[in-house]
Amino acid sequence: MTTTKLLKTAGLVAVLAYASSASAQDDSQLVINGEIEMITEVATQDYIGGLKTAYSGWRFRNSDMQAMQLDDFENPAAIAVDEGLASWSKVDGSEGKSCASCHEDLEASMAGVRAVYPKWNEEAGAVMTLASQINNCRTEQMGAEAWKYDGTEMTGMEAVISLQSRGMPVNVAVDGPAHDAWLKGEEIYYTRYGQLELSCANCHEDNADNYIRADHLSQGQINGFPAFRLKTGGLVQVQNRFKGCIRDTRAETFKPGSEEFVALELYVASRGNGLSVEAPSVRP
């Protein structure tokens, strides 16, 4: 993908953001590159009390924005994905290794990984996100410095790894040793933070499909993350998105990578168990 293409895309932002009111949540089919059929609507598991059907955020976008995700040549995330791809085989750190030194072929080694993260890690004795697993390999395996949790390098790497699971159903485990973290995430999801006293559920469960000023509220699903946001013109890490939503309630946010956000990520992922991994998606 060329820079010209990206610039053209950036020019679209203003138009898209204010395009005539987004088509109310419709029953459009998401088929990427004419071949990968995506599940954008699925019955939730019984443990998700407040939500019967999960819908991908794609379903709430207007048709112009939806179209940008249909074809990888239209998807503005391509540049970040290319960068992630380059860093997969880039040697870094005291051990003189790259990701490829150990994991070899990206497609073969990372297929299906994104679909099951966040996931309990026995050795760490904690739930790990894709980002914390990547940083763990950097510091423990490569002797390299950890990337900023929601920085550009991390987000690009997450995107290229997620791409290897695109179209596969999200399937995070919520029981067993991960259950405590899941419960904590659920509690955070329903807590009304900040001076505006709004919980994730107030907006994304009670009011999904409503408009809050110009914003068409989705269910706040994370199957599309990292997502390319037209508003900022860049790829956004999922916990960075959480941070923005909490900040907008006039609250003190949690930090990306914090125990709270890891728990929240696991819980929110489980609300979308069964939706296809859609990353990198295109969002407002």
Partner 1 sequence: MKRTAIALAALIGSGTFVSAETVTPDNVVMDEYGSIEASLTGVAGDPAAGAEVMSSRGLGNCVACHQVSALSAAFQGNVGPSLDGAADRWEEAQLRGIVSNAKMTFPDSVMPSFYKTSGFIRPGNAFTGKAAEGALEPLLTAQQIEDVVAYLATLKE
Q: Just list the catalytic residues.
A: 245
Query: Residue 23 touches which of partner 1, ligand HEC, none (CB < 5 to 8 A by kind)?
Result: none
260-279 positions binding ligand HEC, by CB under 6 A: 264, 268
Q: What are phi and psi of 201, to 5 degrees?
A: -65, -35
**Alpha carbons 118 and 265: distance in angstroms, whole number:** 7
Piece of 3-11, 14-22, 93-101, 167-175 that binds ligand HEC (CB under 6 A):
93-101
- The kind and range of the H/E element at 238 are helix 238-247
The answer to whether residue 153 forms part of the interface with ligand HEC (CB under 6 A) is no
Smallest CA-to-CA distance from 266 within 182, 189, 194, 161 is with 182
Q: What are phi and psi of 211, to 5 degrees?
A: -105, 130
Cβ atoms of residues 95 and 106 within 8 Å: no
Piece of 31-39, 64-72, 173-181, 239-247 that binds ligand HEC (CB under 6 A):
239-247
By CB under 8 A, name the binding residues for partner 1.
191-198, 202-203, 206-207, 210-215, 217, 243, 246-253
Query: Residue 7 touches which of ligand HEC, partner 1, none (CB < 5 to 8 A by kind)?
Result: none
Burial track 248-284 (b if 16+ CB lie within 10 A, e otherwise):
ebebebbebbeebbbbbbbbbbbbbbbbbbbbbbbbb
Residue ranges that bind ligand HEC, judged by CB under 6 A: 57, 97, 99, 101-103, 113, 121, 130, 133-134, 136-138, 141-142, 157, 161, 198, 200, 202-204, 212, 215, 217-218, 220-222, 224, 227, 241-242, 245-246, 248-249, 264, 268, 283
